[in-house]
Structure 1
Amino acid sequence: MNHQKRAVVDPPDSRGLREVRLDGVTVGRAWSLRELRRLLTRSGFSEKTDPAADPAVFWYGGGPDTWPDQPLQRRTTMVLLVVGLLGSAVLLVDIGYPDLFGALTFAGRITGWMFIVGGFLQALAAVAAFDHWSKRSFKYSGAFALFGVIITLVVCSLLLALWLQEREYFPYCLSYLSLWVWSLWATWRVSREKPWRGIPHPRGFALGAVASGLVAAMNLAYSGLYQPTTAVEKVHYHVAFGIPYASPDAHKSIMYVPVTVTLENTGTVPFWILASVVKVYSTSSKFRPKETSIHWREGEGESQLYTGPPITNLVYWGSLEEPGGWLDPGLRSVRQKILQLPRDAPFDSLEASSDLMTMRKDRGSIGSEFNTSHWSWEPDEATERVDCATCGDIGINLGPLRYNSNLLNVTRKPRHVLSVRYVNDDVEWDYEVAVSPLDERGKISGDFEPEGRFDFVQMGAASATVSFAQLLKQLR
Structure 2
Amino acid sequence: MALGLLASASVLFYVGSADAFNALAYGGRVMGVAFVTAALVEAVATLAVCDYWGKRVLRYSGAAVLVGVGIVTVTNLMFLFTQIQGRSYTPFLWLWITLVLWAAWAFWLLTRQKAWQGVPHPKGVALSVVVSGVVGIASLAYSQMYVPYSAPVRISFGVSFGDPTASADGASLHVPAHIEFRNMGSVRIYVVGTMWKVNGWPTKFTEKGVSEDTWKSDALGYNRALKHVDYFYSRMLGTGKFAGPGDRLDPGVDLSQDFVVDVPLRTGLGRVEIDATASFIRADRGKLGNSYGDSVAPSWDLASGKHLVDAPSRVARSGDDFYRYHSKIYHSSEMLNLTHAVDYATTWWVFPKWQEGVDFAEGDTDPDLVPSISRDPEGVELLSDSEQEPYGMTTHSRWAERSLDELLKAAKK
Q: 3-state SS of the aligned residue for 2:147?
A: coil
Gaps in structure 1 of 5+ consecutive residues:
1-80
Which residue type is aligned with residue 295 of structure 1?
A: V
Q: In structure 2, how many angstroms separate the alpha carbons of the residues matched to 1:348 and 1:447?
A: 41
Q: Which amino acid aligns with 2:198?
A: V
Larger mean CA deviation between 307-316 and 356-365 belongs to 307-316
TM-score by length of 2: 0.82
* Residues in 2 aligned to 1:312 and 1:422: alpha-carbon distance in whole angstroms: 17
Kindly indicate whether the alpha-carbon contact (under 8 Å) linking 1:385 and 1:444 is maintained by their aligned counterparts in 2: no
Bigger relative contact order (CA 8 A; separation at least 6): 2
Structure 2 vs 1, CA of residues 125 and 298 (structure 1 numbering), >3 Å: closer, same or farther? closer
Specify the alignment match of 2:176 in structure 1: 258
1:195, 1:287 → 2: CA distance?
91
* Secondary structure of the structure 2 residue equivalent to 1:227: helix
SS at match of 2:291: helix
Partners of 2:381 and 2:6 in 1: how far apart? Answer: 37
Q: Where does residue 125 of structure 2 map in the other structure?
A: 205
The letter for the 2-side match of 1:462 is R
CA contact under 8 A between 2:196 and 2:239: conserved in structure 1? yes
Tell me the equivalent position of 1:355. Answer: 277
Residue 324 of structure 1 corresponds to 246
Aligned in 2, Cα 1:298/1:154: closer, same or farther, shift over 3 Å?
A: closer
What's the C-alpha RMSD, in Å, of the aligned pairs? 3.1
Change over 3 Å in CA distance of 1:217–1:472 after alignment to 2: closer
Helix, strand or coil at the partner of 2:339:
coil
Which of 1 and 2 has greater Rg?
A: 1
Change (3 A) 1:412 1:235: closer
Is residue 401 from structure 1 mapped to residue 316 from structure 2 by the alignment?
no
Matched pairs, number = 384
Q: Does 1:126 align with 2:16?
A: no
- SS of the equivalent of 2:234 reads strand
Gaps of 5+ in 2: 219-224, 303-307, 360-366
Cα distance in 2 between the residues matched to 1:444 and 1:118: 41
Q: Retained in 2: the 8 A contact 1:343–1:472?
A: no
Q: 3-state DSSP class of the match of 2:313?
A: coil
Specify whether residues 398 and 297 from structure 1 end up closer, same or farther in structure 2 by C-alpha distance, changes over 3 A only.
Answer: same
The answer to whether residue 157 in structure 2 is matched with residue 237 in structure 1 is yes
Letter in 2 for 1:456: M
Q: Cα offset for 1:473?
A: 4.7
Aligned to 1:272: 190
Distance in 1 (CA, whole Å) between partners of 2:185 and 2:54 is 61
TM-score, normalised to structure 1, is 0.72
Is the 2:311–2:322 Cα contact (8 Å) retained in structure 1? no
The percent identity for this pair of structures is: 28
Q: Summarize the alignment of residues 173-188 of structure 1 with structure 2, pairs less than 5 Å apart.
A: 173-188=93-108
Equivalent in 122, 125, 145 of residue 65 of structure 2: 145
Aligned to 1:50: none
Quote how far apart the aligned CAs of 1:91 are.
Answer: 0.5
Question: Which of 21, 26, 36 is the aligned partner of 1:101?
Answer: 21
Structure 1 pair 228–166 and aligned structure 2 pair: CA distance change class (3 A): closer
Tell me if structure 1 keeps the 8 A contact 2:183–2:252: yes
One-letter amino acid of the counterpart of residue 278, structure 1? W
Alpha-carbon separation, structure 2, partners of 1:268 and 1:397: 27
- 1:467, CA displacement in angstroms? 2.9
Does the Cα contact within 8 Å between 1:125 and 1:147 map onto a contact in 2?
yes
Query: 1:401 Cα deviation (Å)?
Result: 1.4
